[in-house]
Amino acid sequence: MRKKTMNQCLTNPYVVLLFGSLLWFAAPEGWAASESGESFRAVATDTQGLQTEMENIIFYYEEKVSETAFIPHELRELPVKRGTSTVKIKFFSIKEIDLKASEKGSPPVANVTLKDGKTGEFQLAIAGSFKGQSAFGEVELPATQLARVVFK
CA distances from residue 47 to 14, 54, 107, 144 in whole angstroms, order as listed: 54, 17, 15, 9
Per cent of the chain over pLDDT 90 is 67
Instruction: Specify whether 57 is located in the same domain as 3.
Output: no
- Does pLDDT of 19 surpass 70? no
- Mean pLDDT, the chain, rounded, equals 83
Q: Select from 94, 97, 117 the least CA-distant residue to 38.
A: 94
Instruction: Specify whether 68 is located in the same domain as 132.
Output: yes
Is the full-model pTM beyond 0.85?
Answer: no
Q: pLDDT tens, 29-82? A: 444 443 455 789 999 999 999 999 999 999 999 998 999 999 999 999 999 999
Instruction: Specify whether 88 is located in the same domain as 20.
Output: no
Instruction: Specify whether 61 is located in the same domain as 9.
Output: no
Q: Select from 109, 91, 89 the least CA-distant residue to 99.
A: 109
Q: Select from 122, 112, 134 the least CA-distant residue to 53.
A: 134
Q: Which residues contact residue 58 at a Cβ distance below 8 angstroms, ignoring those fewer than 6 apart?
A: 74, 75, 76, 130, 131, 132
Instruction: Specify whether 118 is located in the same domain as 47.
Output: yes
Instruction: Specify whether 17 is located in the same domain as 59.
Output: no
Q: What are phi and psi of 58, to 5 degrees?
A: -135, 160
Instruction: Specify whether 85 is located in the same domain as 19.
Output: no
Q: Is 26 exposed, middle or buried (0-12, 13-18, 19+ CB in 10 A)?
A: exposed
Least confident residue range of 4-8, 67-71, 81-85, 96-100: 4-8
Torsion region of 73: left, alpha or beta (phi above 0 gives left; psi -120 to 50 gives alpha): beta
Is the CB of residue 141 less than 8 Å from the CB of residue 40? no
Number of domains in the chain: 2
pLDDT of the residue at 39 = 87
Instruction: Specify whether 78 is located in the same domain as 108.
Output: yes
Domain of 104?
A: 38-151
The DSSP symbol for 8 reads H
CA distances from residue 95 to 40, 113, 118 in whole angstroms, order as listed: 11, 6, 10
